[in-house]
Chain A
Amino acid sequence: MSGQRLKESYDVVVVGAGPAGLAAASEAARAGLETLLVDENVGPGGQIYRAITTTPVHDRSVLGKDYWAGVALADEMRASGATVVQGAMVWSLDPELQLGISLSGASQLISARRVVIATGSMERPFPIPGWTLPGVMTAGAAQTMLKSSGLLPAGKTVLAGTGPLLLLLAAQMLRAGGSIDVILDTTPSGNLTKALPHAMGFLLSPLLAKGLALKREVGRKVRVVRHVTLLAANGESALKSVTYTTSGGATATVAADNLLLHQGVVPNPNLAMAADVAHDWDVQQHCWCPVLDHDGRTSVEGIFVAGDGAGIAGAVAAELRGRLAGLAVVRDLGAGSGLPDSQPIRQRLQREERARPFLDAMFEPPKSMRVPADSTVVCRCEEVTAGEVREAARLGCTGPNQLKAFLRTGMGPCQGRMCGLTLTELIAEARQAAPADVGHLRIRAPVKPIPLSELADMPVEEPAVKAVVRG
Chain B
Amino acid sequence: MFKRLPEGAAKTVAIKVDGRVIEARAGDSVAAALIAAGISPTRLSAVSQSPRAPYCMMGVCFECAVTVDGVANRQGCLTPVQEGMQIETIKGRREIGA
Whether a CB of chain A sits under 8 angstroms from the CB of B98 is no
Q: Is B8 a contact partner of A56 (Cβ separation < 8 A)?
A: yes
Query: Which B residues are CB-close (under 8 A) to A141?
Result: 54-58
Q: Is B48 a contact partner of A149 (Cβ separation < 8 A)?
A: no
Give the residue of B9, B57, B62 whose beta carbon is less than 8 angstroms from that of A413. Answer: B62
Q: Is A149 a contact partner of B27 (Cβ separation < 8 A)?
A: yes
- Write 18 A-B pairs (CB below 8 A) sorted by A numbering: A41-B59, A42-B80, A56-B10, A57-B8, A89-B78, A105-B71, A122-B58, A137-B56, A144-B57, A151-B4, A151-B36, A152-B5, A238-B51, A238-B53, A258-B1, A380-B63, A383-B50, A412-B62
User: A132 with B60: in contact, given A151-B36, A153-B1, A238-B41 (CB under 8 Å)?
Assistant: no
Query: Which B residues are CB-close (under 8 A) to A89?
Result: 78
Query: Which A residues are CB-close (under 8 A) to B87?
Result: none
Cα separation A57 to B27 with both chains bound (whole Å) = 13
Within 8 A of A (CB), among B3-36: 3-5, 7-10, 25, 27-29, 32, 35-36
User: A40 with B57: in contact, given A132-B52, A151-B35, A176-B5 (CB under 8 Å)?
Assistant: no
Chain A residues proximal to chain B, CB less than 8 Å: 40-42, 47, 51, 54, 56-59, 87, 89, 105, 122-123, 132-138, 140-141, 144-145, 148-155, 176-177, 237-238, 257-258, 268, 380-383, 412-414, 417-418, 449, 451
Chain A nearest CB from B72 CB (Å) reads 8
Q: Is B27 a contact partner of A148 (Cβ separation < 8 A)?
A: yes
Q: Is A151 a contact partner of B3 (Cβ separation < 8 A)?
A: yes
Q: Is A154 a contact partner of B1 (Cβ separation < 8 A)?
A: yes
Q: Is A135 a contact partner of B7 (Cβ separation < 8 A)?
A: no
Q: Is A149 a contact partner of B62 (Cβ separation < 8 A)?
A: no
Give the residue of A41, A136, A151, A258 whose beta carbon is less than 8 angstroms from that of B5. Answer: A151
Besides A137-B53, A150-B9, 8 other CB < 8 A contacts?
A: A134-B52, A141-B55, A141-B56, A145-B32, A148-B28, A151-B5, A176-B5, A418-B61
Cα separation A268 to B47 with both chains bound (whole Å) = 26
Query: Which B residues are CB-close (under 8 A) to A381?
Result: 46, 62
User: A149 with B54: in contact, given A56-B10, A383-B48 (CB under 8 Å)?
Assistant: no
Whether a CB of chain A sits under 8 angstroms from the CB of B45 is yes
Which residue of the partner chain A has the closest CB to B47? A383
Whether a CB of chain A sits under 8 angstroms from the CB of B65 is yes
Chain A nearest CB from B3 CB (Å) reads 4
User: A414 with B62: in contact, given A155-B1, A177-B5, A237-B41 (CB under 8 Å)?
Assistant: yes
Chain B nearest CB from A268 CB (Å) reads 7
Which residue of the partner chain B has the closest CB to A41? B78
Give the residue of B3, B4, B32, B63 whose beta carbon is less than 8 angstroms from that of A148. Answer: B32
Whether a CB of chain A sits under 8 angstroms from the CB of B86 is no
Which residue of the partner chain B has the closest CB to A270? B60
Q: Is A138 a contact partner of B32 (Cβ separation < 8 A)?
A: no
Chain A nearest CB from B76 CB (Å) reads 12
Q: Is B57 a contact partner of A135 (Cβ separation < 8 A)?
A: no
Q: Which of B4, B58, B78 has the most CB of A within 10 A?
A: B58
Cα separation A238 to B38 with both chains bound (whole Å) = 12
Chain A nearest CB from B71 CB (Å) reads 7
Cα separation A451 to B73 with both chains bound (whole Å) = 9
User: A135 with B55: in contact, given A154-B3, A413-B62 (CB under 8 Å)?
Assistant: no
Q: Is A56 a contact partner of B27 (Cβ separation < 8 A)?
A: yes
Give the residue of B2, B7, B42 whose beta carbon is less than 8 angstroms from that of A58. Answer: B7
Cα separation A151 to B54 with both chains bound (whole Å) = 14
Cα separation A106 to B27 with both chains bound (whole Å) = 23
Chain B nearest CB from A30 CB (Å) reads 29
Query: Which B residues are CB-close (under 8 A) to A134?
Result: 40-42, 51-53
Query: Which A residues are CB-close (under 8 A) to B28?
Result: 148-149
Query: Which B residues are CB-close (under 8 A) to A145?
Result: 2, 32, 35, 57
Q: Is A137 a contact partner of B54 (Cβ separation < 8 A)?
A: yes
Chain B nearest CB from A443 CB (Å) reads 14
Q: Is A413 a contact partner of B73 (Cβ separation < 8 A)?
A: yes
Query: Which B residues are CB-close (under 8 A) to A154?
Result: 1-3
Q: Is A47 a contact partner of B58 (Cβ separation < 8 A)?
A: yes
Cα separation A268 to B56 with both chains bound (whole Å) = 13
Cα separation A322 to B1 with both chains bound (whole Å) = 37
Q: Which of B3, B59, B72 has the most CB of A within 10 A?
A: B59
